[in-house]
Structure 1
């Protein structure tokens, strides 16, 4: 018995191990998340294979010897009794099982094309982070007062346990922000204790309404604490989606950013749309009149040096205190340069000994200057950010791209780039577009080595598309979008799906070599391998079941993976038990012993 199953088990487990190897080539965030899982599975399978080959036969000889007149369990007897007529039907009428399998695969492709697409499922952290932004010219006092108003508005809700606000940057500025920006961290009660509403989206809308009523004129963006840092680390922005506009002129960038933001707000699912604030800081501009300074024998350097001394100060000496030294700086008091009028009254000495007011040799203006100038790849850029609620990332970006193409026309030399989670989704998709085909080719190659022919390999490989159909149906029934986690589940499913096919076809070929006609070998092999096939699928499904139904923090990432594997195992098991026996006589008929077309293994005439 050990020799009989040694070859198929070694190669079948080897296929599963090989399937996980391409996952090790993933880079970026998806690589950090799923490479440890792949390595764990590979080492666990290798150890279990060694134990199954070397330890299980010895333990079975010692502790699990078959007793005389050994009978199968009640469950297996009923499973065989239920399976027998359906097996006869698949052998007598192959089209009756093959055509539904094809239709199932086509239907799954149609459903899969309508599944949403996202990078990684959103984790439900249980708390909330609110980013509050104001005008760049706001004072520290006003910023703190605004933050306190936001806290008072949020504490009115019974769902809120605690509210903590951080404004500006700390002394160790690992997270650089201006005083016009605040992060409000809201600790919430468990969702089953909420009384205002049971939906997080509805609670966010109520929070937003209450805050804007208490503190009008502020901008709000709602996210989660870990998610906010997560987005900032992987994309440099705190929102789900970022549109970067590159160009030279800040005013043109601001105008184009406003157009993009207005267009983005029209897309269903867009929330908290905001444009990076690049202007709005008040400043005093002093423009030297060169004709006037020429009349007084002054140079622009003389005028600017006086202005620098007034606002910044001028070093006039050094003060020593022991081993330490300090610059001695002299400047005018703040009252003498508090505004344009005060600055205009500052007297500037000329070469002739006269004192000329600054307003006579320069124009003093008050206007707005840039709040910040952001650069990327040696180019100026402006970012338009948005969160996505009630919709998947893929369909939202597809519609948003079409809307912006229709409504926004960038000047020559300006271009935009889609960033945030969408950029990482594109990069991961490109890598998986290489990994998945390599995985499928490896499966076919190993199956061809196992059976020494391509036909049995292709027959077993049919498990892969039908298993994929089950995974897609499972995602659709649970309302889960297609994500990187689900794709990794599909890759893992491919290896598990072919395992039962290898065991079944190996048994059929062994019976053929013992002299049985093809049809009888198929019927007897299917009945002999019913229990191993069911046990393999059941054990694997039960192993993934806790991941599929888990509701704890972090379960959102593993849930699509487990759902795909369980759904795929259901359909691939059906393929192994019905479609492979139905097609084996057509695809892999033995040339030495032709099959008896109308005789079953029970020597009864088929109708």
Structure 2
């Protein structure tokens, strides 16, 4: 028995660890990130090329895309991305969800090969939170200096790239965006009554447009943007010299270049994120073919070995953070309830030894659980843990039934050895029938994507533990009460048979 428990403990380390299972929805998602600062028109052209390629693949039925942001929240577990001109979201429908895994791997490889300047992430829907569905591996660095944070993020990204099993690698600050800053010629500008704000408005109208008002529709405020017609918009710095600006002193439009000295080109952070009011940069990644926990186990020691300057810290976010917080909410009160259940069993038998016998049988479920999950190729996810916790009460019930029958047999006048043997024989059918009915009731859930791991946990754990309970409980009873095979039959005592027996 100890060997089986040791083997189960080793098998526990071989189980996959996932927060929530994937769905059987006949759709999958693609996040496409172009270089930071990409115009939305260029993003649209790239997505059109990607859509044309995806339509040539087998089993693909429909494609829907959103440029510059995610789609409206069409599913509870879907979290749309915020506005970004260099981002696009694709929703791909297939004729059968069983083809998604092969399409996912093919698309991830082909997109990285055909479009070298994008960061694609192809991923499935799952039942859990959607904010980390695309990139469940997240390493967050906190600190004051932007350059140091970017350097730390680059080191972590290098480790992920060298691993070879992680895709969609980037950080949430993304690349530096190219920017231009006009240099105002102060003297001519003042003589013409032109200030920096007027220049900024002209440039904004020529490029992205300027907000001139707000339109209210019910409870929604829609900005009114003034923008030059398509044929009058400028496409580069070389065309800025063709812009005109109104001079209140001259009373007419004048060329913008009369009040400009030139332009300064520089690179700046397109976005800076904070967490707990501190600057934080998060390195993102997704496993190519395996579970996130498996890929994370490989790279975590290397990333945590990165030397952090004073005032900087590393925290793991994503799936590992949400999984840990969810399990803590369940497991933190668990010891208190375990102690309460132990006290109930002690009060039930009015003795300590029967309670110890019962609780020594509980770990037997681990043997069946690990074996079942490995054979069924199911991960130890959140619902599997709930199934494992529910097994405790079922196993305690079986042990109580057997111990109570042993006491009833002893009170009828049998020797303790005979009582143990007869009780095991007489209680075998009720115990196995109770386990069998539970197992049969769980069979439909085995084919459900969400409850499959929980069903396998309960079915295999209960079946294996029920059989072992009929063997282990009599053995432990014999050891705790020093029962000998040659004990003589005792005379029956005048006691009232009751479910609650005195073992003192």
TM over 0.5: yes
Question: Could you tell me which residue of structure 2 aligns to residue 51 of structure 1?
Answer: none
Question: Could you tell me which residue of structure 2 aligns to residue 304 of structure 1?
Answer: 196
Q: Distance in 2 between matches of 1:521 and 1:256?
A: 69
Question: Could you tell me which residue of structure 1 aligns to residue 451 of structure 2?
Answer: 558
Please say which of residues 159-168 and 267-276 is displaced more in the overlay: 267-276
The structural deviation recorded for 1:422 is 0.8
1:517 aligns with 2:415: yes
Q: Distance in 1 between matches of 2:234 and 2:137?
A: 48
1:185 aligns with 2:91: yes
- Indicate conservation of the 8 Å contact 1:245/1:383, yes or no: yes
Q: Distance in 1 between matches of 2:470 and 2:71?
A: 67
- Which of 280, 292, 299 matches 1:381? 280
Give deviations 1:97-148, integer Å, cap 9, x for gaps. Answer: xxxx222112211221332322223334332111112123333332222111
Question: Could you tell me which residue of structure 2 aligns to residue 158 of structure 1?
Answer: 58
Query: CA 1:175–1:118 in 2, change beyond 3 Å: closer, same or farther?
Result: closer
Give deviations 1:471-528, integer Å, cap 9, x for gaps. Answer: 1222222232322222111110011011111111111112222332211221222222
- Which of 461, 464, 482 matches 1:568? 461
Query: CA 1:382–1:349 in 2, change beyond 3 Å: closer, same or farther?
Result: same
Give deviations 1:432-458, integer Å, cap 9, x for gaps. Answer: 442433343233211111111010111
The TM-score, its normalising length taken from structure 1, stands at 0.67
- Which of 475, 480, 491 matches 1:587? 480
1:390 aligns with 2:289: yes
Q: Distance in 2 between matches of 1:491 and 1:357?
A: 73
Question: Could you tell me which residue of structure 1 aligns to residue 298 of structure 2?
Answer: 399
Question: Could you tell me which residue of structure 2 aligns to residue 526 of structure 1?
Answer: 424
- Indicate conservation of the 8 Å contact 1:297/1:350, yes or no: no
Question: Could you tell me which residue of structure 1 aligns to residue 76 of structure 2?
Answer: none
Query: CA 1:600–1:148 in 2, change beyond 3 Å: closer, same or farther?
Result: farther
1:501 aligns with 2:399: yes
What does residue range 271-282 of structure 1 map to in structure 2 within 5 Å? 271-282=167-178
- Indicate conservation of the 8 Å contact 2:8/2:367, yes or no: yes
Q: Distance in 2 between matches of 1:121 and 1:238?
A: 14
1:223 aligns with 2:114: no
Query: CA 1:172–1:400 in 2, change beyond 3 Å: closer, same or farther?
Result: closer
Q: Distance in 1 between matches of 2:60 and 2:413?
A: 76
Query: CA 1:380–1:572 in 2, change beyond 3 Å: closer, same or farther?
Result: same
- Indicate conservation of the 8 Å contact 2:141/2:280, yes or no: yes
Query: CA 1:531–1:516 in 2, change beyond 3 Å: closer, same or farther?
Result: same
What does residue range 21-60 of structure 1 map to in structure 2 within 5 Å? none
Q: Distance in 2 between matches of 1:369 and 1:578?
A: 71
Question: What's the secondary structure of 1:556's corresponding residue?
Answer: coil
Instruction: Tell me which stretches of 4 or more aligned residues in structure 1 moved more than 6 Å.
Output: 170-174, 333-338, 344-351, 355-361
What does residue range 6-25 of structure 1 map to in structure 2 within 5 Å? none
Segments of 5+ residues of structure 2 without an aligned counterpart are 74-79, 214-223, 490-504
Query: CA 1:494–1:342 in 2, change beyond 3 Å: closer, same or farther?
Result: closer
Corresponding pairs, count: 464
Question: Could you tell me which residue of structure 1 aligns to residue 219 of structure 2?
Answer: none
Q: Distance in 2 between matches of 1:105 and 1:440?
A: 21
The structural deviation recorded for 1:418 is 1.3
Please say which of residues 280-289 and 356-365 is displaced more in the overlay: 356-365
What does residue range 133-282 of structure 1 map to in structure 2 within 5 Å? 133-169=33-69, 175-190=81-96, 200-212=100-112, 215-224=115-124, 226-227=125-126, 231-233=129-131, 238-267=134-163, 269-282=165-178
The structural deviation recorded for 1:567 is 1.6
Q: Distance in 1 between matches of 2:234 and 2:334?
A: 72
Give deviations 1:155-187, integer Å, cap 9, x for gaps. Answer: 111221111211124898975332321111111
- Indicate conservation of the 8 Å contact 2:415/2:488, yes or no: no
- Indicate conservation of the 8 Å contact 1:278/1:373, yes or no: no
